[in-house]
Structure 1
Amino acid sequence: MSDLDDVKVKTRKSYAESAKAMLDYVENGKTFQTDKIITLPTSIFTDAGRWEKEMSAIFEKLPLCLATTAELRDIGDYKAADMLGKPIMMVRGKDSKVRAFLNVCVHRGAPVVAEGCGHVRRMSCKYHGWTYDLDGKLIGVADAHTFGDIDKSAKGLRELPCEEKNGLIFVCLTPEQTFNLEGFFKGFLDDFEELGFADWHFLGSRVLTGANWKIAFDGYMEAYHFAALHPKTVAPRTPSNIAHYQAFGPHLRIGFPQVNISKHLNAVPSAQWGEMEHKGFDFIRILFPNVSVFVANKITQLAQLFPGPTPDKNITVLNYFTRKPPPDSEAQESLEGMMDFLYKVVRDEDYWVGNHIQTGVASGAHDTVIFGKNERGNQFFHEYVDWYLGLRPDEPSLSGATGT
């Protein structure tokens, strides 16, 4: 048996365990619960000092999923953007390795590639034309005979830690900071190997802004709001207030049963339940601290949530993928419609209420917010944020929760 076969067997067994739990929840009126509700101060969404600690202890230290293999398929492909106030670029080198750099020329600080995605043979500053190869090495100084002597070998682009794994590209925003993806993800990236995500096709992205990054991210981690907030979009497909959680370190695979889960799962042997994603249930895959991946039957949405310039704002990039490129213009148009639908649900429903929540917590009406026993994913997420900030002594655990 190959390594990929081993991964498929292991992940599908885990999927099947989640499917069994979700079927039980739907048929017996239950959901995943822990033993207590928790309250948190509203200041976690408004306090500037806390926001700065989140930036320094979490977003500047942990590996962040900033791009995908599908966006940087070929040698010379690059992606550049302002991410968390830093000009970041990733480029695939001649050795096929993806590297990340600060998009800042060593000469006078100008960018060396334009924002967005593109393709280059080399990178050249638009201010004075200093040129770098795909490895970030300085290879050309404009009019060098008039500029003066410079040691090009010591004046390359500032590199950032970067690693590509199973179709996802991770970067740490602090130079020389080390990270261990295997240790951080506890096997969770096997999901993306099982999906074959490295070979998927990138369709495009949509950008929107919203409330504090944790307010926005909370909406991805529970089904309690489906009936009230999504009565015509999500609730007809997915029952409200039913979800199943599996943890991999700080990361979560969240199972959401479909209303017809009994019909689908009871029609096949239980040994096949691990192969039934989209056919009776769906998963949201949460990559701590800020990525949510929803793999649907025809289209996949990968949401990247970045803290904005102030505590009350976030910038979200919704990226869309398919397993194969659309075969014709009609299929492309259909997928564009799906992208627009998913984007509008997030913008007009989830982020609409998030903006009102931000106004509400800032008003001083209440000192705390409440997370119920049925909102264990949200509790777990905030526990991990506090742990990384050094506010709790023990690393959180999802254990002890049951479906009741």
Structure 2
Amino acid sequence: MSNPDKQQEYNLIAARLLEHVAQRTTDMADQKMAVPSSSYSDPVRWKQEIETVFKRLPILVGLSGELPDPGSYKTKNMLDVPLLLTRLKDGSVRAMLNACAHRGMQVAEGEGKCDKFVCPYHAWLYGNDGALKRVYGEETYGEVDKAAMSLTQLPVYESGGLIFAVLTPGLEVDFKDFLGGMIEDIENLGFADWHYCGQRVIHGANWKVAYDGYLEGYHFAAAHPKTINQRTYSNIMDFRGYGPHLLIAFPQRNIEKLKEVPENERYKHENDGYDFVRTIFPNTSIFVAPEITQVAQLIPGPTVGENTTILHYIHRHKPETAEETQKLEEMMDWLQEVVQTEDYDLGLKVQGGMASGAFENVTFGRNERGNQYFHRWLDYYLNDDPQRQPPQL
């Protein structure tokens, strides 16, 4: 890492984690926080979250490694929005609505590599930049303003190996301002040059029930006794906020060895004394590990009590042998199993408890500072009050 400010920040985090471990303390909020249980099960609230947050803020739509070469494309459906992602000859990325301007037919499916798309309904031809190139039988259809009938473009931004888009066409956003210091932190990791290993898909409860689990380590001892808790202390965390995004630090059980490391060099010890979870509001969690890196992308729905999570996996190096490939596949399978059985299956039971009306509120403790921060930011965007000040950690 060549960024002196980040080096200093990591050094300070390492020092705080060492202090927390020694004193068995954790980073804490000033007070507890109550969140209405109904906010996890109310379909009106859920639709408001989708329309106001997910369709108006930049959200992760893919990883750069999913479009490795010029001509690469991939189709996705996010919140009932059909997406077409492409990489052009100049290396830039386009995000478009996968809907023909003629009758709305999806012009592409799956993924692959090509420089044009032919609508399977009436054979209109589009370039991979979305430009309408040809109208089949135009002499009988009638003259067409091709520039006005291109595929609908979405605001798109690629940085740090991640691709973000706004699901509302024409909505002006400042990507750099929104992503702020978090994207700078991610850029330092160099994801853009990492190998895309693949993905796994899991299903769980309401998206916030699932996301809450990524924001704290309070549950490690109870929910992950034979996995995460073997590597990482439970209920010891440190938090840094970048706008609505979080850098969450967790001490490994071997962190005391950092006492022998010069204080100004502890920044070098991510995954070797402490780990980070990086969250990108509203629905992305990134965990970097030596074995493999997991990027969890949570998508609400199809109902208020459900979410679909895409677990993307990347690695610093492309495997060179069948054995290395197999090890990565096994690691992806193992992480999928851990998240599904030790987090998401529990989340489904949490969802049932919340929906039962047993308690009016869910309470987040002072030690669950990341959860409090997330819910305050969510309320901030939902209220959309220009006079209201953004939450502070």
TM-score category by the smaller chain? over 0.9
Q: Deviations over 1:155-187 (max 9, x none)?
A: 100110001112111100001111112211222
From 365, 373, 376, the counterpart of 2:366: 373
Q: Indicate the residue corresponding to 1:67 in structure 2.
A: 62
Q: Indicate the residue corresponding to 1:23 in structure 2.
A: 18
Q: Deviations over 1:14-69 (max 9, x none)?
A: 12211111111111211111121111110110111111111111001100111121
From 151, 155, 158, the counterpart of 1:161: 155
Verify the 8 A CA contact 1:94 1:134 in the aligned structure 2: no
- Report the Cα distance in structure 2 between the residues aligned to 1:284 and 1:187, rounded to whole angstroms: 15
* 77-86 or 250-259, which deviates more: 77-86
Query: Is residue 33 of structure 1 aligned with residue 28 of structure 2?
Result: yes
Q: Indicate the residue corresponding to 1:274 in structure 2.
A: 267
- Report the Cα distance in structure 2 between the residues aligned to 1:350 and 1:123, rounded to whole angstroms: 40
Q: Indicate the residue corresponding to 1:207 in structure 2.
A: 201
Aligned to 1:297, the other structure's residue is in SS state coil
Structure 1 position 335, deviation (Å): 0.8
Aligned to 1:301, the other structure's residue is in SS state strand
Q: Indicate the residue corresponding to 2:289 in structure 1.
A: 296
Query: Is residue 387 of structure 1 aligned with residue 373 of structure 2?
Result: no
- Report the Cα distance in structure 1 between the residues aligned to 2:316 and 2:122, rounded to whole angstroms: 42
Structure 1 position 89, deviation (Å): 1.4
Structure 1 position 391, deviation (Å): 7.5
Q: Indicate the residue corresponding to 2:229 in structure 1.
A: 235
Structure 1 position 88, deviation (Å): 0.9
Q: Any stretches of 5+ residues in structure 2 without a counterpart?
A: none
Cα root mean square deviation, aligned: 1.3
Verify the 8 A CA contact 1:11 1:190 in the aligned structure 2: no
- Report the Cα distance in structure 1 between the residues aligned to 2:90 and 2:180, rounded to whole angstroms: 28
Q: Indicate the residue corresponding to 2:339 in structure 1.
A: 346
Amino acid at match of 1:100: A
Q: Indicate the residue corresponding to 1:402 in structure 2.
A: none
Structure 1 position 309, deviation (Å): 2.0
Q: Any stretches of 5+ residues in structure 1 without a counterpart?
A: 399-404
- Report the Cα distance in structure 2 between the residues aligned to 1:182 and 1:141, rounded to whole angstroms: 38
Query: Is residue 178 of structure 1 aligned with residue 172 of structure 2?
Result: yes
Q: Indicate the residue corresponding to 1:401 in structure 2.
A: none
Q: How many residue pairs align between the two structures?
A: 391
Q: Indicate the residue corresponding to 1:220 in structure 2.
A: 214
Query: Is residue 53 of structure 1 aligned with residue 42 of structure 2?
Result: no
Aligned to 2:253, the other structure's residue is in SS state coil
Query: Is residue 328 of structure 1 aligned with residue 314 of structure 2?
Result: no
Amino acid at match of 1:300: T
Aligned to 2:383, the other structure's residue is in SS state coil
Q: Indicate the residue corresponding to 2:77 in structure 1.
A: 82
- Report the Cα distance in structure 1 between the residues aligned to 2:97 and 2:180, rounded to whole angstroms: 29
- Report the Cα distance in structure 2 between the residues aligned to 1:165 and 1:18, rounded to whole angstroms: 25
Aligned to 2:279, the other structure's residue is in SS state strand
Query: Is residue 98 of structure 1 aligned with residue 81 of structure 2?
Result: no
- Report the Cα distance in structure 2 between the residues aligned to 1:112 and 1:348, rounded to whole angstroms: 37
- Report the Cα distance in structure 2 between the residues aligned to 1:391 and 1:322, rounded to whole angstroms: 39
Seq. identity, %: 46
* 186-195 or 252-261, which deviates more: 186-195
Q: Deviations over 1:357-383 (max 9, x none)?
A: 111111111111110000000000000
Change in Cα spacing, 1:391 to 1:150, as seen in structure 2 (3 Å) is: closer
Query: What pairs up with 1:249-268 in 2 under 5 angstroms?
Result: 249-263=243-257, 265-268=258-261
Query: Is residue 362 of structure 1 aligned with residue 355 of structure 2?
Result: yes
**TM-score normalised over the length of structure 2:** 0.97
Structure 1 position 143, deviation (Å): 3.0
Aligned to 2:337, the other structure's residue is in SS state helix
Structure 1 position 78, deviation (Å): 1.3
- Report the Cα distance in structure 2 between the residues aligned to 1:79 and 1:21, rounded to whole angstroms: 43
- Report the Cα distance in structure 1 between the residues aligned to 2:351 and 2:289, rounded to whole angstroms: 30
Structure 1 segments (4+ residues) deviating >6 Å: none
Verify the 8 A CA contact 1:245 1:254 in the aligned structure 2: yes
Aligned to 1:241, the other structure's residue is in SS state coil
